[in-house]
């Protein structure tokens, strides 16, 4: 059965392996909403809303009710509350069988899980939308096929690393005239231990699948601990994974879901269990740093907060730049780790295709583009989605007091979900000296136009904030090859992915699986990259045996 799954998905795996090498465009799963059955998805979603989520796993100890949707819809889903002891024990018992399955069989199982998740992308879209506040199309694409692509990419990386050397070898060393010393050697891939995925509240699947599938493919059973307000997308994922595992003849406890009440402190308890050897985390800097400091028995991969900059030096498409930035700032109300925060603009203005623009004209250009983009509330909410929680709302509402407001936030009424909290971005002008303000992350629909003395000072700010506070993305607009080259060198120093002169249909927020490396691990925003070799190679070890060749 398991070899059969590998064979069934072999071509997909081979394409993924080619794609991570060429870095050219490739995707395994359609991002078109038309590819998925929304009626069936809606029916499935409705069935979860007020029922007990079907997941038969060990150690259930009462139930926990889901948090309400950011769209104001009541989600009454009840999840089994888990006993840490039972989960760790069950995962430990599943470990040897999963290890012994070997890289090929595990890759086959992972790809079958991903394919079935893909088939349920409609359900996942509604689950992501109603736990994160994402607009529907984003929830479908980022929560479904794009997340599945990221998971597949991690499987491909893991598979490549596990199979980069022979699993058996005959070693024959010349030993004097006509003689050899011969040994037969076997190399086993051995998982590090148990994996723990700590999910986030904004992109539970997109940020979660790389770690989940990297750990699974390398042989580590994974305990999935969703954010308490964002359980359903990962609960569905675990359900699918357990179903495939059981069908393929493995212990379904290779993947389990850990849901608790806040007083259970599941994340910290699980993260410091000696059996847990790999942890994947996306969330706040404080929680990420806590894990790095305290989960010392484990290899910890974190994505935390950052301060993303855009160096605006000059442009040959002023309107294109303004439109592009307007969408980048508005998309999902800036609740992306990739959203720009600090737009660094010389206070003397910039050269553009529409002649010189003063700082104020640049500010008004961007503000105007946002106004136009979000002018129609019905269309606007399909870009902004809803504010995910009170914390983000507070960040958004306090921003206006931090400087000179260039564009005020507006509250929009969502035509379908009247209780949803919707805010358009606020743009605030700051000066280069206000580093205390713009040097911190303001997660949400908040952007600062920082007036600098020159592009050189913009570089200094970009470097300093990136190195001290981290950054996941950076962008530059310039018509000068020298400035672009200097920005590229600054980005290498900061260790941040750079987008240059985006004026069309690609946005700095977007990161494409198989081609874009998401985060780098080289600055404080993240200690890992999704996905590179370092993200997978530490999840397993090689244990060899050797014996003399007998005639």
Number of residues that bind a copy of itself (CB under 8 A): 67
Binding residue (CB under 8 A) for a copy of itself from 11, 25, 418, 436: 25
Closest distance of CB 195 from a copy of itself, Å: 15
Give me the residues paired with residue 169 across strands.
185
**In the window 280-299, what residues touch a copy of itself (CB under 8 A)?**
292-293, 296
Distances in Å between the Cα of 26 and the Cα atoms of 81, 142, 151, 437, 522 are: 39, 15, 14, 40, 26
Query: Binding string to a copy of itself for residues 236 to 275, with x set by CB under 8 A, is what?
Result: ----------------------------------------
Contact, 127 vs 231, CB < 8 A?
A: no
Q: SS3 for 294-309, per residue?
A: HCCCCEEEEECCCCCE
| Closest to 131 in 3D by CA, of 55, 259, 232, 46 | 232
| Closest to 279 in 3D by CA, of 203, 220, 328 | 220
Closest distance of CB 516 from a copy of itself, Å: 7
Binding residue (CB under 8 A) for a copy of itself from 11, 34, 39, 173: 173
14 binds a copy of itself (CB under 8 A): no
Question: What is the CA 262 to chain-centroid distance, rounded?
Answer: 24
Contact, 309 vs 477, CB < 8 A?
A: no
Binding residue (CB under 8 A) for a copy of itself from 116, 188, 347, 440: 188
Count of Cβ atoms closer than 10 Å to residue 50 Cβ: 12
Cβ distance to a copy of itself smaller for residue 132 or 473: 473
319 binds a copy of itself (CB under 8 A): no
Report d(CA 177, CA 365) in Å as an integer.
82
Distances in Å between the Cα of 182 and the Cα atoms of 345, 455, 511, 542, 543 are: 68, 65, 49, 21, 19
Report d(CA 385, CA 79) in Å as an integer.
26
Tokens coding 546: 């050797």
Give me the residues paired with residue 315 across strands.
352
Closest distance of CB 491 from a copy of itself, Å: 6
Closest distance of CB 168 from a copy of itself, Å: 8
Cβ distance to a copy of itself smaller for residue 204 or 466: 466
Contact, 414 vs 381, CB < 8 A?
A: yes
Span from 114-122, 123-131, 174-182, 278-286 in contact with a copy of itself (CB under 8 A): 174-182
Binding residue (CB under 8 A) for a copy of itself from 130, 146, 192, 463: 192
97 binds a copy of itself (CB under 8 A): no
Closest distance of CB 52 from a copy of itself, Å: 38
**In the window 462-521, what residues touch a copy of itself (CB under 8 A)?**
484, 488, 491-492, 495-506, 512, 515-517, 520-521
Report d(CA 158, CA 197) in Å as an integer.
17
Closest distance of CB 303 from a copy of itself, Å: 14
Contact, 193 vs 277, CB < 8 A?
A: yes
Closest distance of CB 311 from a copy of itself, Å: 13
| Cα dihedral 53/58/61/66 (nearest 10) | -30
Can you tell me which residue has the tokens 């850990």? 258
Tokens coding 473: 């993305």
Report d(CA 87, CA 296) in Å as an integer.
20
Binding residue (CB under 8 A) for a copy of itself from 40, 52, 190, 480: 190
187 binds a copy of itself (CB under 8 A): yes
Dihedral angle sign, alpha carbons of residues 41, 47, 52, 56:
negative
Cβ distance to a copy of itself smaller for residue 443 or 540: 540
Closest distance of CB 452 from a copy of itself, Å: 21
Closest distance of CB 504 from a copy of itself, Å: 6
Binding residue (CB under 8 A) for a copy of itself from 3, 76, 181, 372: 181
Cβ distance to a copy of itself smaller for residue 219 or 226: 219
The runs of H, that is alpha helices, within 144-284 are 145-162, 209-217, 232-247, 266-271
Cβ distance to a copy of itself smaller for residue 161 or 251: 161
Nearest-5° Cα angle at 523, 466 to 533: 140
| Cα dihedral 453/457/462/463 (nearest 10) | -160
| Closest to 215 in 3D by CA, of 467, 489, 539 | 539
The most distant pair of C-alpha atoms in the chain lies apart, rounded to whole Å, by: 88
Span from 138-146, 160-168, 252-260, 356-364 in contact with a copy of itself (CB under 8 A): 160-168
Closest distance of CB 238 from a copy of itself, Å: 27
Closest distance of CB 460 from a copy of itself, Å: 17
Closest distance of CB 273 from a copy of itself, Å: 16
42 binds a copy of itself (CB under 8 A): no
Residues that bind a copy of itself (CB under 8 A): 20-25, 99, 160-161, 164-166, 169-175, 181, 183, 185-188, 190, 192, 292-293, 296, 484, 488, 491-492, 495-506, 512, 515-517, 520-522, 529, 532-534, 537-538, 541-548
């Amino acid at each position: 059965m398991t070899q059969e799954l590998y064979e069934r998905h072999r071509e997909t795996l081979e394409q993924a392996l080619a794609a991570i090498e060429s870095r050219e465009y490739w995707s395994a799963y359609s991002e078109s909403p038309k590819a998925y059955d929304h009626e069936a998805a809606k029916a499935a979603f409705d069935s979860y809303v007020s029922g007990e989520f079907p997941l038969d796993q060990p150690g259930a100890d009462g139930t926990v009710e889901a948090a309400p949707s950011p769209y104001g819809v009541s989600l009454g889903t009840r999840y089994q509350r888990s006993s840490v002891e039972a989960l760790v024990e069950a995962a430990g018992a599943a470990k040897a069988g999963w290890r012994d399955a070997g890289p090929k069989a595990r890759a086959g199982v992972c790809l079958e899980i991903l394919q079935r998740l893909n088939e349920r992308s409609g359900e996942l879209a509604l689950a992501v939308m109603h736990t994160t506040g994402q607009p529907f199309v984003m929830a479908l694409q980022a929560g479904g096929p794009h997340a599945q692509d990221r998971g597949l990419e991690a499987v491909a990386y893991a598979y490549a690393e596990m199979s980069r050397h022979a699993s058996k070898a005959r070693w024959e060393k010349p030993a004097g005239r006509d003689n050899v010393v011969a040994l037969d050697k076997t190399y086993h891939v051995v998982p590090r231990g148990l994996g723990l995925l700590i999910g986030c509240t904004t992109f539970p699947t997109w940020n979660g699948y790389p770690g989940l599938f990297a750990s699974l493919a390398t042989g580590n059973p994974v305990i999935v601990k969703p954010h308490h307000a964002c359980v359903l997308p990962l609960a569905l994922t675990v359900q699918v994974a357990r179903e495939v595992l059981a069908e393929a003849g493995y212990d379904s406890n290779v993947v389990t879901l850990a849901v608790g009440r806040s007083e259970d402190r599941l994340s910290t308890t699980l993260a410091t269990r000696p059996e847990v050897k790999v942890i994947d985390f996306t969330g706040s800097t404080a929680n990420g740093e806590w894990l790095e400091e305290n989960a010392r028995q484990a290899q910890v991969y974190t994505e935390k907060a950052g301060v993303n900059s855009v160096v605006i030096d000059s442009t040959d498409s002023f309107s294109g730049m303004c439109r592009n930035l307007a969408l980048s700032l508005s998309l999902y109300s800036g609740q992306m780790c990739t959203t720009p925060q600090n737009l660094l603009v010389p206070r003397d203005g910039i050269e553009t295709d529409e002649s010189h623009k003063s700082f104020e004209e640049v500010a008004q250009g961007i503000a105007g583009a946002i106004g136009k983009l979000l002018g129609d509330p019905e269309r606007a909410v399909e870009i902004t989605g809803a504010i995910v929680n009170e914390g983000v709302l507070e960040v958004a509402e306090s921003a206006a007091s931090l400087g000179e407001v260039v564009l005020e936030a507006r509250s929009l009424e969502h035509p379908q979900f009247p209780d949803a909290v919707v805010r358009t971005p606020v743009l605030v002008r700051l000066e280069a000296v206000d580093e205390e303000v713009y040097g911190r992350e303001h997660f949400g629909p908040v952007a600062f136009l920082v007036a600098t003395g020159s592009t050189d000072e913009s570089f200094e700010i970009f470097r300093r904030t990136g190195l001290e506070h981290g950054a996941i993305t950076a962008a530059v607009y310039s018509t000068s090859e020298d400035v672009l080259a200097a920005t590229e060198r600054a980005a290498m120093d900061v260790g941040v992915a750079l987008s240059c002169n985006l004026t069309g249909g690609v946005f700095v927020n977007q990161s494409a699986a198989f081609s874009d490396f998401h985060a780098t691990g080289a600055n404080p925003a993240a200690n890992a990259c999704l996905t590179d070799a370092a993200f997978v190679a530490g999840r397993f070890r090689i244990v060899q045996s050797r014996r003399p060749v007998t005639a």
